[in-house]
Chains A and B, each alone.
Chain A
Amino acid sequence: MWKKVFAWLDERLGLNEMQKNLLERPEPKGNWWNTLGSASLFLFILQGATGIFLTVYYTPSPDHAYDSITYIMNDVTFGWLIRGIHHWGATLMVIVVFLHLLRVFVTASYKYPRELTWLIGIGLLIATLGMGFTGYLLPWNQRAYWATTVGTQIAGTVPFLGEFILKALRGGADLSALTLQRFFSGHIWILPVVLLALIGAHLFLIIRHGESHWPTKED
């Protein structure tokens, strides 16, 4: 019965072929450093899942943001766990993405024909840092408020364009409800969509090229 259903689906979707091409593609001799990309992807999915759950209770308004997080932490069943995973997962993701970049750099995997994979990877790093920057404001506590004040001020020191960048980031001259709202929007819509698109391209290129060999002495 199961087999019949699977055969029917396979005939139309090509599941077996997909598995062969995507998951059972030949790899160079394994090395644990090569798993950092998959680890980043796993963390992205974990952050996405826990983030979606957090929006069930979180409210991005100056009146309620802090209270809603206090509620998540103290009153919602396993709220501390879901937010804890999201909080620590964020830090871990930045670390893992950066280690992944270092690995690719050290093994010179960014060279022909993988230059585009590398460039997209830089985009992924920037978007990941953007997630960290926007997410940091959302608890709306003193630390979040002043970190964003300082962070946006730094962006504001750019010559000529500084004031424009500062206002665009804050949604006005001051840190306000508008800032919180646009950081929230960026954190849950804009940056995740960018990340998803870049991850798709990144994975497509990896599957297209296969993974690079670990360099040997001759290299």
Chain B
Amino acid sequence: MSEPISRREFMKASVYFVGGIVGAAVGIPAVGFLIDPAFKGGSKEAWIPVGKLADMPEVGKPYPFSFTRVQVNGWERTATSHGGFIIRKSDAPDNLLILNSRCTHLACTVNWSEADHVFLCPCHDAKFDPEGTVLDGPPPRPLDRYAEFRVTADGILEIFYKEG
């Protein structure tokens, strides 16, 4: 030891050192605590199974389906219901039209009318043809479609759901 440090200097350095460790031990977790939600996933898209394709044999007939999405934010769970119709356009298993049953006017759920062969909205009497095109009423655009879908190995039809 060429330059022995004084007792005072040693105490000072020790206090800074220990203080730094204590500060970091609390400070770093505190920052993590604060920004934690930014690292949480909360996926807004998913593949949703809607039924066996074999159960929807008839071409041109809308088969209804529905599913529920649960959004978890912290300790709050919000469930939202979704639904739609699956229409075979031919016998080919990938030639499907999948419509969202949410009316594009004010989000009421449309129903299939077998008699008139149209989708009817109960709220404002809007009519859509089997392709989803607006025939009558206030909706500004055709029914939305689930454009992406796939059939799993065991014949389950899955649609790709994306929020918003």
Contact = CB atoms under 8 A, between A and B. Distances in A.
A57 B74 contact: yes
A171 interface: no
Interface of B: 26, 29-30, 32-34, 36, 39, 74-76
8 contacts: A53-B33, A64-B76, A68-B74, A71-B74, A71-B75, A78-B29, A78-B36, A79-B33
B34 A64 contact: no
A77 B33 contact: yes
A180 B79 CA distance: 28
A36 interface: no
Dominant secondary structure of chain B at its interface with chain A: helix
B26 A85 contact: yes
Contact of B33 (A67, A70, A76): A76
Tell which of A46, A64, A68, A76 has the most Cβ of chain B within 10 Å. A76
A-B pairs, top 7 by smallest CB distance, nearest first, are A78-B29, A67-B75, A77-B36, A77-B32, A71-B75, A78-B33, A78-B32
A17 B76 CA distance: 54
Given A46-B26, A85-B26, A56 B75 contact: no
Contact of B75 (A50, A70, A78): A70
Given A56-B34, A64-B75, 9 more contacts: A49-B30, A53-B34, A71-B74, A76-B33, A77-B36, A78-B30, A78-B32, A79-B36, A82-B29
Interface in A35-93: 46, 49-50, 53, 56-57, 64, 67-68, 70-71, 75-79, 81-82, 85
A82 B30 CA distance: 7
Interface in A1-48: 46
B74 A56 contact: no
A85 B33 CA distance: 13
Nearest to A70: B75
B33 A56 contact: yes
A77 B30 contact: no
B96 to A, nearest CB: 39
A27 to B, nearest CB: 14
Contacts of B33: 53, 56, 76-79, 81-82
